[in-house]
Copies of this chain bind each other. A is one copy, B any other.
Amino acid sequence: MSADIERPANSENKVGRTPRTAPKLDKLLTASAGLMARQGFGQTSIRDVASETGFSLGGMYYYFENKEDLLFQIQRRTFGALLELQEADLKEGGSAEECLRRLVRNHLEYFTEHFNELKVCTFELESLQGTRYAAIAELRRRYYQYLADVVAELEGLDANETADVERIRHITLFIFGMLNWIFMWFSPERDEPVAHLGEEMIDLILNGLGNAPADRS
């Protein structure tokens, strides 16, 4: 773990760079996320990941400075890709309601396709420190803000008004709660298709209980 400047671990560590991943690194990140999702970051060692993937310990350290760096790379790759997906879709424009629909659909689809990675992102942010923590927190802040903006517009609230700030924050976090709690119960066999689940959630967010539009299926 000496500071060898030839190592990809060092170039990958530059906070703010778009994640560039190669097939081998992808395989490592995916396997690591699977292990950490099952047994927690605290209980997972670099050695565990090496055993799981068939890499040597030396091979692991070619890609990662240490275990925290591995967690950071999982989070940056996963959250970065989700954010890029949402930003590309939001650039299409449209009403606040259309933006809400896309945010919810994309979030659910991406979550259910990258379950382990997002479980690790959600529950292990606090395991990062310093610049790594700050870089992921910034991705999350940007992500949060997209939903908060849509909530403010749909509720007719103004983020510059002190009286509205906490209300926007609460409602945004209620919606993230609905979205992220699926970690606790989602079963592909039972709950697919995800698009249908998304429609049910959007319906609740836009109309509340018992106020369904006539065309509800």
Residues of A in contact with B (beta carbons under 8 Å apart):
40, 42-43, 100, 151, 154-156, 166-167, 170-171, 173-182, 184-185, 190-191, 197, 200-201, 204-212
Contacts and interface: CB of A to CB of B under 8 A. Distances in A.
A211 B209 contact: no
A154 to B, nearest CB: 4
Quick one: copies of this chain in the complex? 2
Contacts of A167: 200
B185 A181 contact: no
A205 B205 CA distance: 7
A176 B204 CA distance: 13
Contact of A190 (B166, B179, B206, B209): B166
Given A180-B177, A181-B181, A171 B204 contact: yes
Contacts of A174: 178, 181, 200-201, 204
List the 9 shortest-distance A-B pairs measured between CB atoms, nearest first: A177-B181, A208-B208, A154-B209, A177-B178, A174-B178, A207-B208, A154-B210, A177-B177, A206-B208
A197 B167 CA distance: 9
